[in-house]
Amino acid sequence: MKAMVAAAAVAGAAALLVGPATAADPHVAGLQIALRAKGLYNGAVDGVQGPQTRGAILAFQRRAGLAADGVAGPRTRRALGPLGRPRLGSRLIVRGSLGWDVSALQFLLRRRGFDPGPLDGFMGGQTAGALRAFQQRAGLFADGVAGSATLAALNGRVAGPGTRPQPSRSYARIVVRRGENLTLLAARHGTTVRALARLNRLDPARFLLEGAVLRVPAGGAAAAAPLALSHGDVRALLDRWAGIYGVDPALARALAWMESGFQTNLTSGAGAWGVMQIIPATWDFVEVVLAGQQIARTAEGNVRVGILYLRHLLRRFNGNERLALAGWYQGERAVREHGVYNESKWFAKVVLSLRRRGV
C-alpha cells in the first residue's frame, strides 16, 4: 500500500530527469548513485544530468530489456530496484531507510559541508550523525529524521558550519484526552507520527495515556474535522468484514490503527484515503479483480476494500503475515523481486506488536 503511494509520488518527479540539467539536482544525484551501484556510472555524483549520466541510463535500459530512450521514467526507476525510489520528500527518512531519497539526502548533506559517509542510498549511522549535525547547526530539532522542515532547510539558504544558528522551533504543550492517539494528534497539529514520537520519546506502537502532557509544534494546523464514525463504530466494521473474509480481526484492527488511528476522514497528499488508507489504483484492483463489483466510497466500503486486499496478500504469501504486511507497505511485486525493505520490516513489526497489545 505505502509502496503504491510512494510510486505515485515518484511519478511526479519524472520531469526532473528528462533532458540535460543546468544545475545540480539531488534527484539526479540519486539516479547517478543508483546507476553506479549497477556498475554503469563512474563519473562524479554532481546532480547534473550530462552525457555520461544519459549514457549510463541507456546502458541500463538495454540491459534491463526496456525501451532505450535515456529517460529515467517510472519503469526504469522500478527496474533499478530499491535505489530507484521513492522521491525525496515523499516519506520520512529514518535510520535504516534505503532508497533514492536517501541518496539525494546524502548528496545534499555533502553539498552543505556535512559528511554523510559513502553515497550509497542507505541511512546508516554516519549519515544519521551528519543529519543531526546539520539540524543542530540550522536550529532544528536534532532527531536525525529527515522530514519536511529539514528538507526545506537543506534545499534553501542554510546556516553552514561557523555561522550563527537560527532560532529553535517553538513548541506548545497539550494534554492527551480520552481516545486520542498519535495519528490524530499529528494530523491536528500539522506534523507526523514519527516526529511526535521522537519529540516526546514515545513508542508509536504503544497507546497514549489519558492526561499525559505532550509537546507539539506551535502554530500547526487547525483542529482536524471531527471523525465521521466513532472508534467503536470503526472497530465494529473491521471485525465484521474481517469475519466475512476470514481475516484475523485483531490483525485487521492493528493494520487500520497503524494506517489511520481509525480515522475515517484522513486523506494523504498522494490520495490514500480513509481507515485503511486506500489509493484509487488499489480500490480499482479490488473492485475489478477481487470483488467483481463496485464498492461504495464510504467508510464501510473503505474497510471492506482494505480487508479484502489484505486477504489477497495473505493468500499470495501463503499465510505469512510478515510478508503480507511488507507487500501492503512496499508492494507485492517488490517483495518478490527485491525482498523486504528495512522500512517494511519496521512496518510489519509495529503492526504485529499492535495486534499483540490489542487495539
CA distances from 192 to 123, 129, 271, 304, 333 (A): 19, 21, 17, 26, 28
The reported pLDDT for the residue numbered 171 is 66
Report the C-alpha gap between 151 and 154 in whole angstroms.
Answer: 5
The reported pLDDT for the residue numbered 328 is 94
The reported pLDDT for the residue numbered 93 is 85
Note the Cα 19 to chain centre separation in Å.
28
C-alpha closest to that of 89 among 332, 341, 269: 269
The reported pLDDT for the residue numbered 162 is 35
Domains observed in the chain: 2-155 (1.10.101.10), 171-217 (3.10.350.10), 231-357 (1.10.530.10)
Residue type for position 180: E
Tens of pLDDT, residue by residue, the chain (359 residues)? 544 444 434 334 333 443 333 468 888 999 999 999 989 999 889 888 889 999 999 999 999 999 988 888 888 988 998 888 888 887 778 777 888 999 999 999 998 899 999 999 998 888 988 998 888 888 776 778 887 778 888 877 433 333 333 334 456 777 777 667 777 777 666 677 777 777 777 777 677 776 677 877 755 433 333 335 778 888 999 999 999 999 999 999 999 988 888 888 777 656 678 899 898 888 888 988 899 888 888 888 999 999 999 999 999 999 999 999 999 988 888 899 999 998 889 989 989 988 988 87
Find out whether 98 and 82 touch, Cβ atoms under 8 Å.
Answer: yes
Report the C-alpha gap between 131 and 140 in whole angstroms.
Answer: 11
CA distances from 57 to 69, 98, 155, 233 (A): 8, 21, 26, 51
- Grid coordinates of 17: 530527469
C-alpha closest to that of 206 among 187, 181, 223: 181
Report the C-alpha gap between 34 and 15 in whole angstroms.
Answer: 18
The H helix count followed by the E strand count for the chain is: 16, 2
Find out whether 3 and 331 touch, Cβ atoms under 8 Å.
Answer: yes
Cell 489509493 belongs to 279
- Grid coordinates of 71: 529517460
The reported pLDDT for the residue numbered 145 is 80
